Structure 1
């Protein structure tokens, strides 16, 4: 009888259910976009990224951290499956994807976490229980590693005897020798660090021996298996890492104990699935086929690729050549590499776009563009021509396959498809020309740096794609010369931008020939730089602004926020932070000081993900206006609105709305969204619009001779929609693109005036999920009728709570600001060392934040709210040579019976002994001098 092999979905759920049974809060995956602590915009590359502030003691693991998740009190245990991307920086697997069975740019990391709760004993016990008792891994094939430092090399910490003893007990319980099954590892293998600085600690890994043979191994075979641990043999691989976070790695190379001990684990979901499915649920190691790609994680994508291309995946793998390069040789090897690359890259791009990161020309956005272009190039191997894009057609099957676990894929599916199709169509023209030019350059042998630079700068052909084509032919590319030419171009561009700016205020900008706006239909255009200005804003701050002859960027007006995006010249990009108007001129404010030179020809590219989110909210505003008239009255007149990517607000004159009215309005809007009516616009004379009672307009406003009418429903240009408004903003093409609409607040803003706050799209989904989770938790404790009543009142209660929280936070900020001014007035010798008294840690942090922006010195604060001591220190850069924040807290925290630490500029700690606060601060004053 054949073994029942679990699906990937069942394997993932088994992990989550197991830790839920151990009182872990199951939290959602974080966004794949991550901003590191140094401000760099990178990808989430590990499960622990979102928890770093908790590990450092900078905030508690409060419920608000995870939208839609509810827990009693403060969760100290969590588990999740995290979406990860490793395609840049320290963790970069891009070049290896497709050439083997296990490298990916996108993968899921299963993890369980303890925030100052359990530690080594529970973590190891539960690892054994899940792996051996629940998943049924054969114990004789399981090995554990523990940390064994090399003191001669200055490795931190001591040997992890506690983990050794805990593992020894487990192996002895099934009759196995711990001296065989526990392997010592060095700092490289068993001391985990996310980066050069930050939370870290010793770790213990679990490895499995996958060598052919019987299910359970003899002692001799077990000894042979132990020799393979931490080696390069793919028949013995790591499956799980338990990290015991005890330290913070400081910039100076030292390791400071953290205020609390934490557990951070990670198990690759794709690898776990490949082991279970490849061994037929551990029943066949003789014919095991361990490949992440030979699982039902990838099979649906491969099946769809076969339908589209007519090619079949056969699981072949290329071998290294004499130079050690892995290059596919046979036709089937090339096909199989292409299948793996395309499937992997589809996941990376789809999840990134769904999370708001699009292919572009800067930092991680350019990484995505490179990945897409690699996938398109490999599509040629499967016979896809440049005439018809293919890549976007795979999104449907991915969303169907993974949408239950990651619903954002389904919510954003059409947007993902549109972005991928547009990018592929654009690159197809470049690819054909690039390959043609590459072939010419390759006739002379190795590719010169000048040729690779021309391919990149003139034709947008990524350097890594040039390297890939060269590697397939056994050629090299002169990267040193390429890098030199790139830097020279950047230097020229920077010099050009600095030499042609004049400084003006917004009021001094003269209205010249109007900027031509092209953004109603397009998201990218070619333009010419007319002028580069240094513009003083209302606060007197200088901002670099570029004036173009034409632009697809929407300039802020009529309540709709302005677009961000990029100005592109060859390989150089200039990020646009926002766009606004000065008369009829569009001002594109640069994110950085640099700008293209006057007269330069540029490509203008809108941040499409942000624009589409704004359009969803703007179109929803029109439907909301119509619904107000239907439910309340025609006299509920618009008094203003604000539309951003995150939400919409709509101001109108009316008495307070009843819960029933709010419910009816929300229902009506969603009915119109689901009807998927067309959204169109026409330009007509204002006199005609003024005399049409069906067109809503803001009376008292001054309109031009010709106006734009946005209508929903009806026939285009017929001015017969069920909603018609004078509006110059951008909108969705159909109401169905909004996805979902949710009211989140209704309140008074003035006598007789109300304000509605609402969200659409993924933001609305998140709000709905949070409501559903709350109902599920609370409804179990009341009667059926009580649960129904609770549901009716929920929106109103949540709105009131949100308003109260805002008011309390604002009040705290005001009080903290006042306290900061008081402390600044009494500062002496470049130092502020003070006990704030019986206040909580949040208040202390607010005072700290108010001080550090105004005080160039050393700040040490203590707070004793709740009977506990909170300590924090800030040291301005000019004073760090003398004293560092981390050293201050590390020294004074033990005085109050606690510990702590941090970086040279900021550190935090605490303790229990309130009576010793003055002594601790006295010691701090000695350190400060």
Structure 2
């Protein structure tokens, strides 16, 4: 059975059990601060488990794209080393929200596996939660009795809290679970050791295939458990493992989920994949590398398709780290020195686009981003190899310090495992303890800076739904339904408050959250400094709580900030329309940030936007502003109908069945943000900058409204000052051109004078060389800049054999030292200019380096130049 048929059969089975199929949520999470990526199928349904939302059906089924590379669920370093761990994987699931429970979940799982898919009952084991005394939980007797009626008791295994109590994180929905494990070993292997003894023992052929979670509890901040408002079922079956079983394979990588990619990697890199090879030998490492690349390509491609580009922070950093791991495995074990992973996107798209069409629609973007990331990191590897050579050259005891290795890793991005490999090949050791200590220091600093501790919600009004009224009003009478205290290293002690209704727009869709205040009847005011969204809750952030939290308050949004933000948000819609009209319909929005002061808009495009095109874009948007287009808003329109009417939907965004469509003239987009009532409210649109942020992704930054007025005022003031400097010239542009021409001529004259000066100086210095051990030596302070010193040193070195020249100068209040050594001396005498300037640099309170034959050092103490020159001979010759 092919993988596509397996996926469809699963969904059709649960459709027959009155489940509604829902699409996979994006892999990158945008409205839950507790998670960076979707790491389980239940993530998109978290609000339903907590009672903060109502699903469109009490029974759902889906296949969910998941990523496990950070936090509690982190499989990254195991990927490729074995045959069943992955970064990105599909989780097949069926869900019950307060409907059926353990009986149906267990019976249907067994029916699907054994009767529909035809899995041999004799290779299956099941596990049941044995209880946890610290949580006051006993054995899951109900699940045990249900399984006992289906399978022999010797195939039921008691599982501990680690294996059979599922928790998404330190806080949140959780509950006991029953796992179904499969034993696909040979008969001979089964005769030696019972599969029962290998369950949850990390055996590659005795693996968990399906986890049935019975969601009953919520883990609170203090570690205690409270019962959820209703009982739910959350199941997750590993699609890749299911394919392995049904296709009679011993490895996930031998199924048709991965074999097309593996064959393509073999062809491109001229290598051979051996599924039975030992990962600890050379040939086996080739196969490990191929598995790593095949797996990581999927994770990176789906992330980019969902709108997350590689970057240096947050989720983008994780994606870059995954891709770089794949690149370095290819570099080290497949001997690939040129980009090639991007070529695999075509194969992946052809293979999986029927289930995930975004791979086709975003294929060009995915390909371009991966190719540029490969080129960049391969350059980093080349640079790192040169730096590592320099480190080795300066290492005397055959052991490179952890501090140096960490500098290569942290500053230059050079992988530590590659450092260790190269050192061992050259007979050097790595101070791994020192490196680990440096890495831990960095992690501690990062953790301390980002540490956030959230308390449990204090519920004032249970089951109170929250209503957003901010599209229609900026003020509203509200009551607090829940609140909690949050402490962070960055912001200190804050409070998060939820109302029964709110006019405050929460950060989302690129738009910042509203600010404002709460006013009590007695006039007391509490300022709301930000508004965010967590799943279905709109959270208002304050520095303190109101005195009487159970009364009614007047919530007031900062009208001026909202108006400016709305103008910028509407401008992004008009900008999007302009770019598609002028550059082409290939342009798609890839991110935005809408503040009250400015806007940022990222979009897909293959080339730099020319000045002429930017002018056209500006004119297009301003023409729409002058037209005075009124807002046409459709709330609660069906997604399908909105798309049919021409609305643009953004990839990577999660849309419900009913959406909000915003139209200004011919511009129509799905959007939850706030907008002006008429484009004339924007006043004017001005582009401030345009540039690249990634392969195939450009960024425009612009301003509108008050910021545009301030911009033109400041430009006018600056122009007035320029005219004053030009003595009110009638034609300022011509006057500036004349000054530039005169400046160019003066520079040429200065260059000529400096060359003459250097020529005369060279003649003088030739007479000042000393003979030291058959070497011509000179240490001298000169009045030249850095370029002049370098030219002079090389000219002297070209005319005189076997020289060591140390020169010092003061330039711009800074000290500069240089050292030139003839290459013959570098080879014969093992002299090193870099070592010389590093030693002399301490006299000028600085440092530097360079090549063995020429190096420079800069410092902040010019007064130390003479002392450095006095010690130069001793430093060079000892």
Q: Which TM-score tier does this pair reach, normalised by the shorter chain? A: 0.5 to 0.7
Deviations 1:440-493 (A, max 9, x none): 657765542211232134423255665677799985622344237748998999
2:51 paired residue among 43, 48, 57: 57
Which residue is 2:81 aligned to? 99
Tell me the distance in 1 between the aligned counterparts of 2:441 and 2:605. 52
2:158 — aligned with what? 184
- Checking the alignment, whether the CA contact within 8 Å between 1:453 and 1:486 is kept in structure 2 is no
TM-score of the pair, normalised by structure 2: 0.53
Displacement of 1:382 after TM fit? 5.7
Cα distance in 1 for partners of 2:421, 2:580 equals 50
SS in structure 2 of the partner of residue 200 of structure 1: strand
**Hey, what does 1:293 align to over in structure 2?**
253
Say whether residues 1:238 and 2:196 are aligned partners. no
Post-superposition shift, 1:235?
3.3
Determine the structure 1 residue equivalent to 2:750. Answer: none
Give a deviation string over 1:604-645, Cα, whole Å, max 9, x none. xxxxxxx9x999973534666999xxxxxxxxxxxxxx9994
Q: What SS does the aligned partner of 2:194 have?
A: helix
| Equivalent position of 1:479 in the other structure | 435
CA contact (8 A) 2:401 2:430 kept: no
Matches for 1:294-443 after TM superposition, within 5 Å = 294-318=254-278, 328-330=280-282, 332-381=283-332, 383=334, 385-386=336-337, 388-438=338-388, 441=391
Q: Number of residue pairs matched? A: 527
Instruction: Return the offset for 1:233.
Output: 3.2
Instruction: Show the counterpart of 1:256.
Output: 226
- Partners of 2:649 and 2:447 lie apart in 1 by 42
Task: Provide the alpha-carbon RMSD of the alignment.
Answer: 4.9
1:129 aligns with 2:111: yes
8 A Cα contact 1:146 1:190, kept in partner: yes
Aligned to 2:575: 618
Superposition deviation, residue 300 in structure 1: 1.3
**Structure 2 equivalent of residue 164 of structure 1:** 144
Q: 1 CA distance for matches of 2:441 and 2:197?
A: 48
Residue 795 of structure 1, CA deviation? 12
Counterpart for residue 194 of structure 1: 168
Work out the CA distance in 2 between the residues paired with 1:237 and 1:644: 39
Q: Partners of 1:223 and 1:52 in 2: how far apart?
A: 40
Structure 2 vs 1, CA of residues 222 and 20 (structure 1 numbering), >3 Å: closer, same or farther? farther
Measured in 2, the distance between the counterparts of 1:421 and 1:36 equals: 30
What secondary structure is seen at the aligned counterpart in 1 of 2:242?
helix
Q: Is the 8 A contact 1:245 1:264 kept in 2?
A: yes
Q: 1:123 Cα shift?
A: 0.2
- The gaps in structure 1 that reach 5 residues or longer are 1-5, 63-74, 172-177, 280-288, 320-327, 495-559, 564-576, 578-610, 628-641, 649-675, 685-706, 712-723, 730-743, 749-754, 775-793, 811-929
Q: Does 1:26 align with 2:21?
A: yes
Q: C-alpha displacement at 1:34, in angstroms?
A: 2.3
* Equivalent of residue 115 in structure 1, options 55, 75, 97: 97
Structure-2 separation of matches of 1:468 and 1:615: 49
Give the drift of 1:726: 5.7
Give secondary structure in 2 for the equivalent of 1:188: helix
The answer to whether structure 1 residue 455 and structure 2 residue 408 are counterparts is: yes
2:551 is matched with which residue?
Answer: none
- Please say if 1:42 is aligned against 2:36: yes
* Partners of 2:301 and 2:366 within 8 A in 1: yes
What is the CA distance between 1:337 and its match in structure 2? 1.1
Q: Which runs of 5+ in 2 are unaligned?
A: 451-508, 513-529, 531-567, 595-603, 624-629, 635-641, 678-878
Answer yes or no: is the 8 Å Cα contact 2:84–2:204 preserved in 1: no
Deviations along 1:307-344, one digit per CA (max 9) or x if unpaired, are: 2112121213435xxxxxxxx322x2121111111111
* Equivalent position SS for 2:254: coil
CA contact (8 A) 2:124 2:155 kept: yes
Q: How far does the alpha carbon of each residue in 1:771-808 deviate from its partner, in whole angstroms, 9 at most, with x for none?
A: 9xx9xxxxxxxxxxxxxxxxxxx999xx9xx999999x
User: Could you list the per-position Cα deviations for residues 505-533 of structure 1 after superposition, in whole angstroms to 9, with x for gaps in the alignment?
Assistant: xxxxxxxxxxxxxxxxxxxxxxxxxxxxx
1:427 is paired with a residue whose SS is: helix
3-state SS of 1:266 partner: strand
Give the Cα–Cα distance (whole angstroms) in 1 for the partners of residues 285 and 42 of structure 2: 36
Mapped partners of 2:357, 2:181: distance in 1: 33
Report deviation, 1:47. Answer: 0.9
- Equivalent residue, structure 1, for 2:616: 710
Change (3 A) 1:435 1:88: farther
1:437 Cα deviation from its structure 2 partner: 3.4
1:145 aligned partner:
127
Map of 2:6 onto structure 1: 11
Q: Indicate how the Cα distance of structure 1 residues 439 and 129 shifts in structure 2: closer, same or farther if over 3 A, else same.
A: farther
Question: Residues 619 and 260 from structure 1, CA distance in 2 versus in 1: closer, same or farther, beyond 3 angstroms?
Answer: closer
**Rounded Cα–Cα distance in structure 2 between residues aligned with 1:804 and 1:490:** 35
- Contact 2:399–2:431 (CA under 8 A) maintained in structure 1: yes
Distance 1:745 1:77 in 2: 38
3-state SS, counterpart of residue 170 of structure 1: coil
Cα distance in 1 for partners of 2:622, 2:225 equals: 57
Once the two structures are TM-superposed, the CA of residue 345 in structure 1 deviates from its matched residue by 1.0
Describe the shift of the 1:678–1:474 C-alpha distance in structure 2 as closer, same or farther (beyond 3 A): closer
Matched, 1:87 2:69: yes
Q: C-alpha separation between the residues in 1 aligned to 2:123 and 2:62?
A: 27
1:805 and 1:376 mapped to 2: Cα distance?
39
Alignment of 1:469-508 (within 5 A): 477=432, 478-483=434-439, 486=442
Number of the residue aligned with 2:828: none
Partner of 1:583: none
Match for residue 187 of structure 2?
213
Larger RCO, structures 1/2 (Cα 8 Å, 6+ apart): 1
Please tell me whether Structure 1 or Structure 2 has the larger radius of gyration of its CA atoms: 2
Aligned to 1:529: none
